Amino acid sequence: LEELDDERRHLAELNKNFLIFLDKTSDLVLFKDADGRLVFCSASLARLTGHDDWRSLVGMTEADLFDAETARHTAEQEARILRTGEPLLNEIQPMTREDGTPGWMSVSRWPIAGEDDGDGSGDKEGLFAIARDITDEYRRREQLQRTAHFDSVTGLPNRALLADRLEQAMAAAERRDTELAVLYLDLDGFKAVNDRLGHAAGDRALASVSNVMQASVRRGDTVARVGGDEFVIVLVDLNSRKACLLLVERLLGKLAEPLVIGDQRVSLSASAGLSFFARGVSADAERLLRQADQAMYQAKNAGRNSYRLYDRHQDARLRAYLEEIGRALDQGQFSLFYQPIVDMQSGQLLAVEALLRWQREDRLLGAEEFLPMLQGHPLARRVGDWVLRQAVAQAASWRAAGEPIAVAVNVTSAQLSRSDFTAGLRELLQELELDDGACALTLEILESSALAEREQLQEVMAACAPLGVRFALDDFGTGYSSLSHLKDLPAQRLKIDRRFVRDLFKGDNDFAMLSAIVGMARAFGRELVAEGVESTAQGDVLLGLGCRYAQGFAIAPGLSPEALMAWRREWRPPESW
């Protein structure tokens, strides 16, 4: 009897604690019998359904508490669970929260079988369920997903989502034996809007342009923003090329109509390139985009506000040019020049930026003349790896000679996104005996690329920190979201885009933007370098704003390693600095 009393007291204590749990938990907890009637539930479920006490719900069914569609869906689920004996775990379902707002919950349901009485019949089965309000987490996850796949200014798909949709559209065209077109557009005159009215007005212009594009295409087509003022439209299930070209002409006409931005009227237009895909065409998504991009540049060079179709003969010439670049790399026609980055006040050499040059026959070509053609091509990886190796080797050579100089190297988001990038860099530094944590290497990445690949870049930065590798955001100020995301990117150096320096004396907007960037860099404790300083007067203004570090022709052009040493011994800053 004592054992029985102890067991009863224990059960009473468990029951008391369980009732406290039902009263206090914010989760929706319930137990039903095999007929779907509530045996007990949490107070939170009572409140959600407008009842004061959960006990008043005992004996009710889902149909008594929720709308018919919810009750039907739940009944089907529970019938399947009881029939199969398999639980339902963490299913995401819509809900109406206690305050009446829509939300989301994670639901798990388990079948409960009664004990066998010995005659094989057993008690009736039941069902136990827990639902948790995950609305905040769901919305955060949704926002992260949207940030990863959609442009923050226009709300359009970004380059990553475009690539996925284009591949799906191409596969569908193969199956259905239909044709699709890729339209690559670049806005004419957009920079003038930014320069004259500021970046906020530029963002509004981009949003207006995106609305025009979306209104001009069909539901199944995709409009994406792939760069500052570049857009791509994928036109699927084309009836004829003639109809497609009429659509393009109408769209260009719409884009040429003046926009009203605040109290200003602005005029834009677009240059466009078209490439087509159908069954039997030998092209992947990247090549199709590249073909449309090439055609777009033809239209821009022909006078703008027009379009051109992709020319396969031009593509053949491009392939031949890429083969020539590959041979140039193999035959040692590439070299690195180094442009000094200095403290304008003291004249001290802060670092040098490695600049790629190609000695092509009798001309020395800058990287900007041939690197854009490598975008998306496997050769880009080879060139990028060569540049990084040569720059690090030069830094090791200078240090071994007792002339240590910090080196900055431009890298692309494609390089940094490789899973083996950090390991390869670590091996390179070990090989050249620069793995002591003081390699004085800075990797420069375009701000726009950094923002697009923010999370991945944060991981790479963290992995490179123990190696002594620093990061710089190049062309800072052009990424539209610069200031709002600066805190998320632990880059030690910011490089002001040269256009702000170049246009310093042309109007108030660039001066105001420059002042804001200097102030923000100071607030976040970032090192700030002005690019494109070509006159003493520009240096005077920058120093007055508080920006001490600079590079540009007013200091020195890109120099060979030997010429850099001579420059270092002789150069002094202007007296006014």
60 in a structural domain: yes
- pLDDT, residue 482, reads 47
- 371, 495: one domain: yes
Q: Is the pLDDT of residue 122 over 50?
A: no
Number of domains within the chain = 3
Which residue range is the domain that position 519 belongs to?
329-570
Q: Is the pLDDT of residue 364 over 80?
A: yes
pLDDT in tens, 12-68: 888 788 888 888 888 999 999 888 899 989 999 998 888 888 889 999 998 888 888
Q: If 0-12 CB within 10 Å is exposed, 13-18 middle and 19+ buried, where does residue 234 land?
A: buried
- 459, 549: one domain: yes
Q: How far apart are CA 106 and CA 386, in angstroms?
A: 51
CATH number of 189's domain:
3.30.70.270
> Which residues on adjacent β-strands are paired with residue 105?
93, 133
Which contacts qualify for 321-329: CB closer than 8 Å, 24 or more apart? 321/370, 321/373, 322/373, 322/374, 322/377, 322/379, 325/358, 325/370, 325/373, 325/374, 325/379, 325/383, 326/379, 326/382, 328/358, 328/360, 329/379, 329/382, 329/383, 329/386
Can you tell me which residue has the tokens 């907007």?
509
Residue among 461, 480, 469, 410 nearest 438 (CA): 469
Angle between helices 536-545 and 508-524 (to 10 degrees): 50
DSSP secondary structure letter of residue 542: H
- 548, 443: one domain: yes
Q: Which two tokens stand for residue 176?
A: 């259905």
- 411, 515: one domain: yes
Can you tell me which residue has the tokens 């203004």?
541
Which 3-state string (H, E, C) describes 218-253? CCCCEEEECCCCEEEEEECCCCCHHHHHHHHHHHHH
Q: Is the pLDDT of residue 119 over 60?
A: no
Q: Is the pLDDT of residue 402 over 70?
A: yes
Residue 548, C-beta contacts closer than 8 angstroms, at least 6 positions apart = 343, 344, 345, 528, 542
Mean pLDDT along residues 140-151:
78
487 in a structural domain: yes
Q: How far are the Cα atoms of 194, 198, 214, 264, 492 from residue 261, in angstroms, in the given order?
A: 12, 11, 19, 5, 36
Mean pLDDT along residues 287-310:
85
Contact 525, 512 (CB under 8 A): no
321 in a structural domain: no
Mean pLDDT along residues 207-235:
93
Contact 493, 442 (CB under 8 A): yes
Q: Is the pLDDT of residue 490 over 80?
A: no
- 95, 183: one domain: no
- Local confidence band at 488 (pLDDT 50, 70, 90 cut-offs): low
- 421, 559: one domain: yes
- Local confidence band at 121 (pLDDT 50, 70, 90 cut-offs): very low
Q: How far apart are CA 526 and CA 524, in angstroms?
A: 6
Can you tell me which residue has the tokens 């590079």?
551
79 in a structural domain: yes
Contact 226, 290 (CB under 8 A): no
Q: Is the pLDDT of residue 306 over 80?
A: yes
- 484, 441: one domain: yes
Full strand arrangement of the beta sheet holding 180-188: 222-225, 230-235, 180-188, 269-277, 307-309
- 76, 164: one domain: no
318 in a structural domain: no
Q: How far apart are CA 204 and CA 202, in angstroms?
A: 5
Share of the chain above pLDDT 70, in %: 92
Q: How far apart are CA 424 and CA 460, in angstroms?
A: 12
- Local confidence band at 497 (pLDDT 50, 70, 90 cut-offs): confident
- 82, 181: one domain: no
Q: Whole-number mean pLDDT of the chain? A: 86
Phi, psi of 531 (to 5 degrees): -90, 155
- Local confidence band at 406 (pLDDT 50, 70, 90 cut-offs): very high
CATH number of 27's domain:
3.30.450.20
Q: How far apart are CA 236 and CA 252, in angstroms?
A: 19
Q: Is the pLDDT of residue 483 over 60?
A: no
576 in a structural domain: no
pLDDT in tens, 539-574: 999 999 999 999 999 999 999 999 999 999 999 999
- 27, 73: one domain: yes
Q: With H, G, I as helix, E, B as strand and everything else as coil, classify residue 495.
A: strand
- 127, 197: one domain: no
Q: Is the pLDDT of residue 313 over 80?
A: no
